[in-house]
Amino acid sequence: MTSATEPASVTIRAHGLRVRVVALGARIDSILLEEPGLELLYRTPWADAGGSEWGMSSSSALWHRDYAGGWHVLLPSAGDPDPRAPVEQPFHGEAAWRTWSLRQDGDTVLAEVLLRTVPVRVVRTVSVTEGRVTVDTVLRNVGTAATRLMWVEHPAFAGELFDDAELLVDGGAVGLVSAPGSAFADLPVTTGTVELRSRSSGIGLRLGFDVTVHPRVFVWQERRGERGFPWWGAGDAVGLEPASEPYGDPADGVGSVRLAVGEERSTRFELDVDRLG
């Protein structure tokens, strides 16, 4: 829960974009291109319904039941909890489950959290400029020993953008599934670029990132292919997810991003939005 002085969400309206960041997980809940009113991120049909006091037997089930879509940061782990990890993690890691502090400064949102399962402070800055959403993230080890973690960015884009579209990862074409269908791929990258050209919507997206921190991209396609829980045939999303290690790694339950005592690690993601001619 956020306090009376801390906002549950912050919305920026600038340069024809409306970007909303929510305190839970510092998730980017929406990136709306105001003209023609096109939502770029996937939002589940129940995104605005809120959570529930009723728990479930696993964090994976709870995550998928309450998943609202958008763009999450996954730290210090991703995927299912690993029993080899030194500290128990929920599905997709502590950061996505925590309530962050939010502060707005003009066309920028500053989000901050101190993780409890690793001694790491995370500061995340989301800013909007002409045709671009920039996400800067700084990790700082505030503990008394070196620590390691896994780091995955989890933006899920609206499935409708991928109808009659071309997707390029590192300049190479990635096969897109048609609805209904599902697919997953784990791809190595060297240039740090993911490009989408959506002919049906007339929109082009380019996601740029630092491959020294995120040398892989997970491409998750859920195009109304899953008829059972949790999607019930309504999930239509494509996740384009820069990752610090291959899917299913690390072997010891701890990630490869290493922070010495007092060390900071920063990286930037740039999402460019273009109108195709």
What pLDDT digit, counting tens, does each position of 56-97 carry?
Answer: 999 999 999 999 999 999 999 999 998 888 899 999 999 999
CATH number, domain 13-275: 2.70.98.10
Type of residue numbered 54:
W
> Which residue reads 């974009």 in tokens?
17
**E strand or H helix that includes residue 62:** helix 59-66
Which whole number is the average pLDDT over 16-44?
A: 97
Distance CA 55, CA 99 (A): 18
Per-residue pLDDT at 207: 98
Given a contact cutoff of 8 angstroms between Cβ atoms, the answer to whether 220 and 197 are in contact is no
Q: What is the pLDDT of residue 1?
A: 45
The answer, yes or no, to whether residue 50 has pLDDT greater than 80, is no
Please report the pLDDT score of residue 145 as a whole number. Answer: 97
* 160 SS3 class: helix
Which of left, alpha, beta for 197 (phi over 0: left; psi -120 to 50: alpha)?
A: beta
Q: Give which of 179, 112, 158 is closest to 139, Cα–Cα.
A: 112
Go through the chain and tell me how many residues it has.
277
Does residue 164 surpass a pLDDT of 70? yes
Amino acid letter at 227?
R
Question: What digits encode the pLDDT tens for the residues 173-189?
Answer: 999 999 999 999 999 99
Specify the pTM: 0.95
Structure tokens at 171: 């300049």
Work out the mean pLDDT of the chain and round it to a whole number: 95
Phi-psi sector, 87: left (phi>0), alpha (psi -120 to 50), beta: beta
Q: How far apart are CA 228 and CA 59, in angstroms?
A: 18
Q: Is 212 left (phi over 0), alpha (psi -120 to 50) or beta?
A: alpha
Tell me phi and psi for residue 94, to 5 degrees. Answer: -55, -40
- Name the 3-class secondary structure at 20: strand
According to the per-residue pLDDT averaged within each range, which of 25-34, 48-57, 249-258 is highest?
Answer: 25-34
**Contact call for residues 141 and 135 (beta carbons, < 8 A):** no
193/174 Cα distance (integer angstroms) = 13
Span 105-153, pLDDT tens digits? 999 999 999 999 999 999 999 999 999 999 999 999 999 999 999 999 9
Distance from C-alpha of 108 to C-alpha of 110, rounded to nearest angstrom:
7
